[in-house]
Amino acid sequence: MTTYDSTNIFAKILRGEIPCHKIHEDHHTLAFMDVMPMTEGHCLVVPKAPSRGLLDADAAELSHVITAVQKVAKAAVAATGADGFQIRQYNEPAGGQTVFHLHFHILPMKDGVPLKPHTGQMADHGELAKMAEKIRTHLTK
């Protein structure tokens, strides 16, 4: 496993160098819309502490991250009227990871609606902003 690269896109988002459609932020985590969504409401939760993946993450930080994942997943499911959801987390190229900052995908799912392929095409930013707002309205304190 290689070391953490502070020039990855999520590190840049965390530093405010690249904008995002923010859903939730606390001292330890940031949640935002995936710009190439595979399903309606597809969002990401990242720790603010630098870690490449699950194996090099601080265990105490992970507890904060999974709490945020649960909170955002509840809100995303409510906002989209999903019948269920998936949580995906990839590690290293062989495991499907393409951005080397620990992150969790939240994929709200509806019965009979397949996931879209990850094509590399960005979604409409106006639609992403609307969905981020909709999810935020369902966040619990």
pLDDT, tens digit, for every residue of 86-136? 999 999 999 999 999 999 999 999 999 999 988 778 999 999 999 999 999
pLDDT grade, residue 24 (50/70/90)? very high
Q: Is the pLDDT of residue 66 over 60?
A: yes
Of 17, 2, 8, residue with least CA distance to 101? 8
In whole angstroms, give the CA distance from residue 119 to residue 50: 27
Q: Which of 28, 103, 118, 138 is catalytic?
A: 103
Residue 64 a catalytic site member: no
Taking the alpha carbons at both ends of the chain, their separation in whole angstroms is 37
pLDDT reported for residue 141: 54
pLDDT reported for residue 9: 97
Residue 91's region, left for phi above 0, alpha for psi from -120 to 50, else beta, is: beta
CB 56 within 8 A of CB 5: no
Q: Is the pLDDT of residue 84 over 60?
A: yes
